Chain A
């Protein structure tokens, strides 16, 4: 995977989040302050625009720019959390022009660790971690058993979707939603929902890459 695939990922994520912005905001109005869709759309569109301007040549450079754009433009808690995730992933990939499936797995794991560190959230707290953590595990499991990129990213995306469904039964313990206590039960977490969109965008471009005979164009 080269920089062009990572750029395609972010463009697809920006498109998907824009398309789903109202849904994310609706989820957030049930448990928070009704701005998650608006913020994520602003942040990812800024990230996509910054990639167009700077045209980075390595996957690590792509993710570093995305991290910086999200921190600078998103606001709220999602900006620092997602921004830190992308920056930690970028650090793991270094200056490598071509990234292996194993390296991408390490990058996803680093993103998870970075987000957990600054957000101090654990699985079960009803946050994006509840989607990202099972996704990282599922990705690794597929790679460990010899699966390819398309299968691994699909498994990650499905696991995130499963995690999102689980958040409906949880009581929020982090962020603004925590103030509602038991009233959060029955609602899916908006942060977990945006994580699903970002990971399914990755799965989407990965399988598109496969179809292009051995490499994303």
Chain B
């Protein structure tokens, strides 16, 4: 394992110190392990808390700030945060208007957020949850823990965050988050595995000419192995899977997201293929993101996420956002 770390056991602690030092707009509670807005919660505003395993940066800490999250709870690498963390963050951002938990659909994340929500409710904090489950790579979902939450998490956090910033109440903010999730789908492709620092070994093995189709963001293998082909063909596999599940039409928001080990030039090659495929199917791209937003340590590959927009969702997407990883409109 070759990594820029001090010690495998202290990666998260050391990274949190770095986050605090790098971003004066954020406050980092290193004891309870959460990242929040430096100015404290906004009076009268619904609080938004998300979280999940570390190793997916900038998700979620990089999305804390005006127009997006109020706090993020980073768990150990690829491990969900614990209820104590989530409870502390939830209490810290509640100003009496309630708190929305944005949770990716992974068993550990769901269970820990659920326990935290119960504890917060005992304290009189109103909590609602949106469970993001956009990954179409998971087949036969009756027999699985349901679809994973991946790239659409960024869309849910941005759009629900904008609504809350504009004064929407808890129920409305949650409903918007669920609407974004319902209208979004993702598919991921991995070219290499990644190594969790504490384990020191790659999570899986892939041959030189192999790709993992439908990979998840925790380095877990996906739906099937395939041959490495052109970017255009891999994009077609991904978008065909998405289109089969949720027919695409009208105007969409697209994210071509790097998993951590893929250079931007390749993401643009992928984006060109995505734009070509969508144009060929009569779908317009109204907004886009190309870059590393939901990574998986140093894994090479990408995820493609598509959200079918409505005028309201486009408006909220365009609303000002000031976070370490997303920043526009102000």
Residues of B within 8 A of A80 (CB): 83, 108, 111-112, 114-115
Q: How far is the CA of A119 from the CA of B115 in the complex (A)?
A: 12
Interface residues of A in 129-187 (CB under 8 A from B): 171, 173-176, 178-181, 183
Asked if B145 and A33 make an inter-chain contact with CB atoms under 8 angstroms apart, the answer reads no
Q: Is B138's CB within 8 Å of the partner chain A?
A: yes
Q: How far is the CA of A174 from the CA of B142 in the complex (A)?
A: 10
Residues of B within 8 A of A118 (CB): 111, 114
Give, as a whole number of angstroms, the nearest-CB distance from A13 to chain B: 19
Q: Is A76's CB within 8 Å of the partner chain B?
A: yes
Main secondary structure of the interface of B (DSSP, over half): loop
Given contacts A29-B199, A34-B201, A34-B203, contact A176 B145 (CB under 8 A): yes
Q: Is B84's CB within 8 Å of the partner chain A?
A: yes
The proximity string for B residues 77-98 relative to A, scoring 1 for CB distances below 8 Å and 0 otherwise, is 1111111100000000000000
The proximity string for A residues 29-52 relative to B, scoring 1 for CB distances below 8 Å and 0 otherwise, is 100111101110010000000000
Residues of B within 8 A of A37 (CB): 199
Give, as a whole number of angstroms, the nearest-CB distance from B89 to chain A: 15
Given contacts A75-B112, A79-B82, A179-B138, contact A174 B145 (CB under 8 A): yes
Main secondary structure of the interface of A (DSSP, over half): helix
Asked if B108 and A76 make an inter-chain contact with CB atoms under 8 angstroms apart, the answer reads yes
The residue on B at minimum CB distance from A68 is B84
Give, as a whole number of angstroms, the nearest-CB distance from B226 to chain A: 14
The residue on B at minimum CB distance from A81 is B111
Asked if A35 and B79 make an inter-chain contact with CB atoms under 8 angstroms apart, the answer reads yes
Q: Is B258's CB within 8 Å of the partner chain A?
A: no
Asked if A175 and B196 make an inter-chain contact with CB atoms under 8 angstroms apart, the answer reads no
Q: Is B268's CB within 8 Å of the partner chain A?
A: no
Q: How far is the CA of A171 from the CA of B139 in the complex (A)?
A: 14
Q: Is A90's CB within 8 Å of the partner chain B?
A: no
Residues of A within 8 A of B75 (CB): 75-76
Interface residues of B in 260-281 (CB under 8 A from A): none
Asked if A181 and B80 make an inter-chain contact with CB atoms under 8 angstroms apart, the answer reads no
Q: Is B149's CB within 8 Å of the partner chain A?
A: no
Residues of A within 8 A of B106 (CB): 77, 176
Given contacts A34-B201, A34-B219, A35-B196, contact A72 B83 (CB under 8 A): yes
Given contacts A38-B79, A76-B108, A118-B114, 5 further A-B contacts (CB under 8 A): A29-B203, A33-B196, A42-B76, A74-B82, A179-B223
* Nearest 6 CB-CB pairings of A with B: A178-B144, A77-B108, A80-B111, A75-B79, A76-B108, A33-B218
